[in-house]
Amino acid sequence: MAIDEVFKALADPTRRRILRMLQSGDLSAGEIAQEFGIRGPSMSHHFNVLKHADLIEGKRDGQQIVYSLNTTVVQDMLAMFMDVMQPKKEPTGESQ
Amino acid sequence: MAIDEVFKALADPTRRRILRMLQSGDLSAGEIAQEFGIRGPSMSHHFNVLKHADLIEGKRDGQQIVYSLNTTVVQDMLAMFMDVMQPKKEPTGESQ
DNA sequence: GATATATTTAGAATGTTGGCTAAATATCTT
DNA sequence: AAGATATTTAGCCAACATTCTAAATATATC
């Protein structure tokens, strides 16, 4: 887990939002992408950054890639931190 | 406190190291800069980013600007987080 | 007030990032 | 195996970040 990668990954609001989405459960690339006004390839890039930071993990399930949070101690702290800074919402939670 | 500014500020290893240095007490711009192989103006830029993120505060004392951590709740969490990720050292602590 | 020291501001150079489109790959269905 | 759907890879470009040098500002000292 390269600390530099983690902080760089967190520097982007889109990626932080992806992490927050995954806090409520696993989601496919498409399900995540849907919530953003961003094309697939750009989303794919964000997934890659998060994977390299070891913050998420992707598993193929049929045609889709299902992403899940890597919940190690550090990443739990991170989740905590992100909750303090910006609580996640219930319904179609969206802000930043 | 703009969350986006905070995460961007933390994205740079030089700035994280500045924060860690200040965890042990206030330091002047020069004292901080001394520890890095980076010119004054570049350091000044980093101080600015940290100030805008409301993570540090600078007060003039004679010819020098003395910087100190802004220790609010969030920033304490941040310190905690950074300690987990990368404990600070005692003597001429350096690694980052 | 002239000179020295500490820091910042301004502006340029270079590298990185985040978005895009087009094309490739993988899987599923017919 | 042809076509549809989901995702990634490759390559491009504009915007932003990090560093630099030169010059400006602020304070201290002679």
Model confidence pLDDT, tens digit, residues B54-94? 999 999 999 999 999 999 888 888 888 888 776 655 544 34
B1 SS3 class: coil
pLDDT tier at A66, thresholds 50, 70, 90: very high
Question: Residue B32's pLDDT is what?
Answer: 98
Instruction: Say if B8 is an interface residue toward chain A (CB within 8 Å).
Output: yes
The model's confidence at residue A83, banded by pLDDT at 50, 70 and 90, is confident
pLDDT of residue B94: 41
Higher pLDDT residue, A33 or B72?
A: A33
pLDDT at B26 over 80: yes
**Residue A65 beta carbon within 7 A of nucleic strand D:** yes
The answer to whether B49 CB sits below 7 Å from nucleic acid chain D is: yes
Contacts of B66 (CB under 8 A, 6+ apart): B26, B27, B28, B58, B59, B60
Chain C bases closer than 7 A to any CB of the protein: 5-11, 17-23, 26-28
| Residues in chain B within 8 Å Cβ distance of A84 | 73-74, 77
Over residues B34-57, mean pLDDT: 97
How buried is residue B91: exposed, middle or buried, by Cβ count under 10 Å (0-12/13-18/19+)? exposed
